[in-house]
Amino acid sequence: MTTTPTTGARLLDVAGMDLDERIARFGRPLMKPGPGLDPEVLHREVLEEPTERELAGEGSLDPVDLEIFLHKLDSIIDDGRDVCKYLSMAEMLQAGDLGVGIFTARGDLAGMSTGVILHALLHYGPVKYVLKHYVDDPTVGLADGDIFFFNDPDAGGVHTYDHFLMMPVFAGGELLAWVACGGHQGETGSRSPGGWSPEIGTRYEEGLHITPLRVGTDFRFHTDHLEFLLNSVRTPRQNSLDMKARLAVCVRLRQQLLREVERRGAPFVAAGLRRSIKTSAELARRRIAGFNDGVYRSVVFLDTIGIEDGLIRLPVELHKQGDELIVDMAGASPEPGIGPFHLRWHLARAASAAALFPTVFRGLRWSIGLFDPIKLTAPPSIVNAPSRDAGTGSGSHTGRVVVQGLLLAAMRMLHDSPHRTGVAAPFAENLLLIQFGGTGQYGNPIAGGPANGNATGQGARFDLDGEHSAGFFWAMVVDCPGPEEQERKFPWVYLFRNRFDQDVCGLGRYRGGVGLTDCFVIHGTPQLGTNSVGTGSRFTKNYGLFGGYSGAAQPRIIIRGSDAKELMVAGADDLPMSVRELADGRRISGDYAFGHTNSEGETVSDGDVVVLARGCGGGYGDVLERDPEAVLGDIADGITSPELAARLYGVVLATSGDRVDDEATEARRAEIRAERRRQGRPYDDFVADWSQRRPPPEALRHYGEFPAPVQVVDDREYPTEPPPDGGAWHR
């Protein structure tokens, strides 16, 4: 991305900088401050200076009592997560797309729930904004029972479709801690019902953007504030109930934390929260120190920009130096300026936790302390978008692909380490999320979609196959609601729910898990508006590892004007039970449309058929090393066809089809190895040929320079020091 020089400016070639200079200049948010937005606050991810109460309690932290307290803290947080799931109305929240956290008095995350890793990790920015800008403001202030709401991604959130609530906790008249709960609400008054839309061009089409706003006092919502928020969305009843569910969580967390104060004293609790963070930081550094120093690289790509096809480059370099990790994303495609796929620095940083916390830091207690030894640098680009107007509604999709790249790099680091047991191909990332808007079967407004993305295939592990329909890699604990439950909520009936298909999981010595596929028929409403967002239509993001094949890409399928309901009423016994049967057999009549996961707004009508497919995990290791008996089991399970088994695994069945022909298999595998040797080329010859290849021009419209975007910046545009006013726009 080239910047036009101005008088006195100095142009800097990002690629020519050393790593330390890139960290100094770009290891922080690059967006400009605005109302309620302070990039300096978002960059203060390190542990703040201790309060007097924390210092006073430090000496009382007996190791045994501290361990009991931290276990209790985790139980309190998990209880809060359950409260949110059971009280919420939005399906995404019921399925666990949420996060709950407890913070120190100065806004540092001391403990977080399972669920989506991002949510709790992003609360620190708004908390610290309130502490920096509102506590001493006579028109705002801070008191026990205050309730703050935010959803603006630039204030520290994910996208406007995730809504957050936070409350201070006072003990003895002094601020002790903060509690928070947030998750995917969906409907926020954006261009499309339910939030997501790949057609969005700028942030101004993404609905409500609320920076930290006090919406209640004395543990009760202000009616005027609540009605303002509800008047801005299509589903006021649902949003109202979910706001109250978040408040119930915060009140519950506060009550249980104060119970610990009664047992142990406020100094102990305050110091215990801080010690939780410091211990995580110490253990994280110790863990990192055990890995080999080096640079571990990966390059991944997006295949879409909004509703346009096109390539976006997302490189990841993981530098391991002593007891530190540096995530360097220099060389990413420039900010395209269209579509909602822009990423902010704080979200890229939080997204990296989805790759690092369950793998590199496996077994350690999660808190902001795990980020103490990690630095992330990203020059101005799609992954550290500086433009205030950039759409960020699907920035989480870009973040998911970044996670895949970081996982691949991290697995190479873990492979030769004492923690090799954590090595696995990435969870399936290919995802199709569909939104609906209109009137449901009960006459109620609908604006959102099902939480079926929580049933993707797991990547193969270093010693085991991946599990089928295992979950969602943003989250460690999520749910995929059952068909009967969804038929009660949404205006459709299921035709089938089954594994995605045959021959779609990543192959290897160990194979990836197969994702779930849902096929349902619109029922109970004349018409619904719909669109979809996702990744992995042109090529997969479900990467294999160490020679393993990737999981398959997936299409979006809608059948309009179908006779599915008539066949179901007639009791037809030959209805399709899989995507392949549906698409190839055409037993159901109608207009079959196969499209990209990112679609323009359109309508579906009563009787139309919609298919939702989830990705399949990548494989691990060479396919020719897979146990033939395991391949036979996959054939029996319908995961692998005999034809593919012979062609790629080199496994040949006996004529009976129920056992492996060992002699024919050995011969077939020898044949495949000989063909590999025949196709082999000297490295220099391969590179000379490969470097001449180039995607078509239309695929590179937003890519930047090919093959690696050149990034040149004006040294005055991104100064290394924050503005002297701290970014407060009106002071």
- Asked whether the beta carbons of 200 and 393 are under 8 A apart, the reply is yes
- Of 713, 285, 237, 588, the residue nearest 446 (C-alpha): 237
pLDDT at 4: 42
Indicate the DSSP class of residue 131. I
pLDDT at 554 exceeding the cut of 90? no
H-state helical runs in 416-490: 483-489
Q: Do 40 and 726 contact (CB within 8 A), yes or no?
A: yes
Beta-bridge partners for 448: 436
SS3 585: helix
Give the pLDDT of residue 3.
40
Mean pLDDT is lowest, of 90-94, 468-472, 649-653, 727-731, for: 727-731
Find where tokens 């060389």 sit: 331
User: How far, CA to CA in Å, does 169 sit from each of 122, 368, 615?
Assistant: 19, 19, 42
Q: What is the pLDDT of residue 94?
A: 93
* Average pLDDT of the segment spanning 16-35: 90
Share of the chain above pLDDT 70, in %: 97
pLDDT for res 612? 87
- Strands (DSSP E) contained in 606-677 are 609-613
Q: Which residue has the higher pLDDT, 305 or 673?
A: 673
d(CA 390, CA 34): 14
H or E element at residue 57: helix 52-57
pLDDT at 532: 87
**Residue 424: pLDDT above 70?**
yes
- 3-state SS of 271-328 is HHHHHHHHHHHHHHHHHHHCCCCEEEEEEEEEEEECCEEEEEEEEEEEEEECCEEEEE
Q: Quick one: pLDDT at residue 45?
A: 67
* Contact of 186 with 448, CB cutoff 8 Å: yes
Predicted pLDDT at 8: 54
Q: Which helix (H) or strand (E) holds 262?
A: helix 236-264
Whether the per-residue pLDDT at 596 is higher than 80: the answer is: yes
Residue bearing the bigger pLDDT, 197 or 330: 330
Helices (H), strands (E): how many in the chain?
Answer: 19, 22
Structure tokens belonging to residue 472: 């969602």
What is the arithmetic mean of pLDDT over 66-74?
A: 96
Four-residue CA torsion sign, 374, 351, 328, 379: negative
Query: Averaged over 84-109, what is the pLDDT?
Result: 95
The pLDDT tens digits for 250-270 are: 999 999 999 999 999 999 999
pLDDT at 720 over 90: no
Helix (H) or strand (E) holding 102: strand 98-104
pLDDT tops 80 at residue 476: no
- pLDDT value at residue 9: 56
pLDDT, averaged across the chain? 92
Helical residues (DSSP H) of 345-481, grouped into ranges = 345-356, 395-415
> Count of alpha carbons within 13 Å of 378, Cβ hemisphere only?
33
Over residues 277-292, mean pLDDT: 97
Q: How confident is the model at residue 5 (pLDDT cuts 50, 70, 90)?
A: very low
- Which of the four pLDDT bands, split at 50, 70 and 90, describes residue 499? confident
Higher per-residue confidence, 183 vs 338: 183
> Is the model more confident about 581 or about 718?
581
pLDDT average, residue stretch 366-384? 94
pLDDT value at residue 723: 56
Q: CA-CA distance, 675 to 667, in Å (whole number)?
A: 12
Write out the DSSP string of 443-479. Answer: S-EEEE---GGG-BPPPPBSSSPPPTT-BBTTBSS--
The model's pLDDT over 324-374, given as tens digits with 9 standing for 90+, comes to 999 999 999 999 888 888 999 999 999 999 899 999 999 999 999 999 999
What six digits make up the tokens of 675? 């063909």
pLDDT at 538 over 80: yes
107: which DSSP letter?
A: S
Cα 383–Cα 354–Cα 159 angle in degrees, nearest 5: 50
> Do 429 and 541 touch, CB atoms closer than 8 A?
yes
If you search the block for the tokens 């799609």, which residue do you land on? 382
Predicted confidence (pLDDT) at residue 434 exceeds the cutoff of 90: no
Reduce the DSSP state of residue 141 to 3 states and report it: coil
pLDDT given for residue 714 in this prediction = 78
Task: Identify the band that residue 495 occupies on the pLDDT scale cut at 50, 70 and 90.
Answer: very high
Count other Cβ atoms within 10 Å, centred on residue 570. 9
State the pairing for strand pair 213-217/220-221. Answer: antiparallel
pLDDT digits (tens, 9 = 90+) for 670-682: 999 999 999 999 9
